[in-house]
Amino acid sequence: MVYKTSTLLHFQSNDKDCLQNSSIYSLSSSNTSIHELSSDSGCSSSSQPISTECCHIDGSCQKYRYILENVEEKNNLIKNLEYIIDEQETKIALLKQHLKNYSINFDKNYQVLGNDSQNGEYGEQKVLKGISYLSLDFAKISDENLELKQNLHKVEKELSKLKLTNNMTFAQIPIMVDKEIQHEEEYKNIKEINKSLFDLSNFKEDILLKIANFNNEKNEFEKAKNQFLKETTNLVRKETNKIIELFMITLNNLSKNYQKEIERRKKLHDELVKLKGNIRVFCRIRPYNTGEEYDKNLITIDPYDVDQLTITSDNGLNKKYTVDKIFKEIDDQENIYHEISPVVTSCIDGKNVCIFAYGHTGSGKTYTMDGPDSNPGIVKRAISELFKILNEQKESLESKITVSMIEIYNEKIKDLFSPGSDNLMLKLGETGKQEIRGLSEKEVTSVNNVEDLIKLGRKNRCVASTVANESSSRSHSITLVNVITKNKITNVECKGKLNLIDLAGSERVSKSQVVGQQLKEAQCINKSLSELGNVVLALRAKASHVPYRNCLLTRLLEDSLQGDSKTLMIVQITKNKKYLSEAVSSLTFADKISKVSIKGSNNKSKINTSSLSLIENAERKKYKKSISDVTIESDISSKTDLS
């Protein structure tokens, strides 16, 4: 009985080990399947982007096959478990039956053995021992049976999960098949794209190779270019050094000859002016003003002799007059200045230049000398040209220009830049030349500075309204421009002076109908103009005596009229019949000065001293007579006022 029980227990133990090994095999198979599935999934995730979907489909199909195999294995395992459970239950039933029979036999044996006390104790112990063994075996079998049931439950649960997964996988198979078909087309397109990319890659490699070749050629060209530039630069530097050496030699020669050329230019300029005459006389015909009596045939110009004009009087007689240059009504300010500019620039060479406008009241003297801002006259144009020439020669010349502005009113000198200075004195200075004591002298650096000063001087000039002119200048206005230059090479300094004079209008007292203070002004104006005419006539005729001391105007201009100074007189006339007599008087004076011309040494005019004296005496008598007429008219008007 005991042997049978042991054999049964051994059998049960072997069955238990077999069952555990089967469970372990099942679980390890399941884990292996799951591991393989996860490995397949990993392989799918690590595939290239181009075949990702295809790998995913293949992995899903393989996973599906693994699931089917696992399900089949699980089913076989369940069948084995069920078979083992049935065997265990059969064994349990047999054990129960055996235990029941053993209990019956025990009771019987116990009764038999109870009679024998000695045998009874030994037998009882064996029975109790057998029962304990059976109880242990029964407990082990119960535990094993419970464990088998738990494993069976786990396997069934896992099987249901696998079935659910299987159903989900089967549901996704049509979609995956469609995607696989679609991806096959995409795969074909991708293959074509890859082929195109491959071709492009080859093309790119070719381009890169060509670029590399081009860069190599470029580098070689850059090296050749740099080498060429280096050689060319060296060659040019050598040639430049040679040229510089030759240039320096030439520059030294030119600098040596520069002063000679300057002196030669001055001599040529002086000779040119001398050929034209140190004293030149121009005539300008003023255009007519609106509302005046204008006769275009009153003054005509000879078409064959442009320096001669003819005046036709009321009685039909023609009188011809000759001057150095005639400007018609159509000649503008620029044309006039262009003709006189060589005289103006003489002051840069250290000459004294005197330019003045002469004529009757209203003949256009102020317009010619000053002019409006829109069409400036000689004063502004002359100073502008001086600045221009000096600026062009600033590398070789240092220069300084100062400007003063005065008026001579009733034989008194007035500083137009300082209105309070009404009676400045003209005295002989330390250099032996006439100087105006207390005269303000302004240094200018641009034309704009000069314009501001001229505007200031015009405001302070004396004007008055007469019958002949509503705004008649009652004084002589003189703009004094001093030019000091210093040659930077030779350090030779030159001082020149430019006198720009707007004379007061000459007028007949009988026509202007002035009285009182204006009559005194007219007498002073006529006297100073008469004396100026005498001085110019004497200088033109090279007289032995020049009457500078007879009036303040000629005394002031003495240093600018004598010696190698340049003098230009512009006679202003008009074709207005009202001023016919004044025009005849001005042209007669101009004609006389022009005819007493000075020629060169080879063809010098044969004018003796007696003839010059006769001319001087005749002119003096004429102007004395005019002055006496003015005095007589003044006395008559004074008596009329007294009566």
**Binding-site residue ranges for ATP:** 359-366
Residues 6+ apart with CB under 8 A from 381: 333, 334, 337
The whole-angstrom separation of Cα 627 and Cα 634 is 10
Which SS3 state, helix, strand or coil, does residue 389 take? helix
- Plot region of 565 (φ>0 → left; ψ -120 to 50 → alpha; else → beta): beta
**Cα of 29 vs its chain's centroid, Å:** 87
The whole-angstrom separation of Cα 507 and Cα 486 is 45
Pairing, β 472-473 against β 463-464: antiparallel
The neighbour count for residue 300, using CB atoms within 10 Å, is 15
Asked if residue 183 lies in contact with residue 53, where contact means CB atoms within 8 angstroms, the answer is: yes
Binding residues: 359-366
Which SS3 state, helix, strand or coil, does residue 223 take? helix
The whole-angstrom separation of Cα 258 and Cα 271 is 20
The whole-angstrom separation of Cα 176 and Cα 6 is 60
Asked if residue 387 lies in contact with residue 380, where contact means CB atoms within 8 angstroms, the answer is: no
Can you list the pairs that 370-374 forms with residues at least 24 positions away whose Cβ atoms lie under 8 Å?
Answer: 370/454, 370/458, 370/502, 371/333, 373/451
**Cα of 258 vs its chain's centroid, Å:** 41
Asked if residue 528 lies in contact with residue 556, where contact means CB atoms within 8 angstroms, the answer is: no
Query: Greatest CA span in the chain, whole angstroms?
Result: 218
The whole-angstrom separation of Cα 412 and Cα 428 is 17
CA 29 to each of CA 158, 408, 462, 494: distance values in angstroms, whole numbers, following the listed order: 13, 140, 136, 127
DSSP for residue 416:
T
The neighbour count for residue 228, using CB atoms within 10 Å, is 10
- Plot region of 516 (φ>0 → left; ψ -120 to 50 → alpha; else → beta): left
Which SS3 state, helix, strand or coil, does residue 443 take? strand
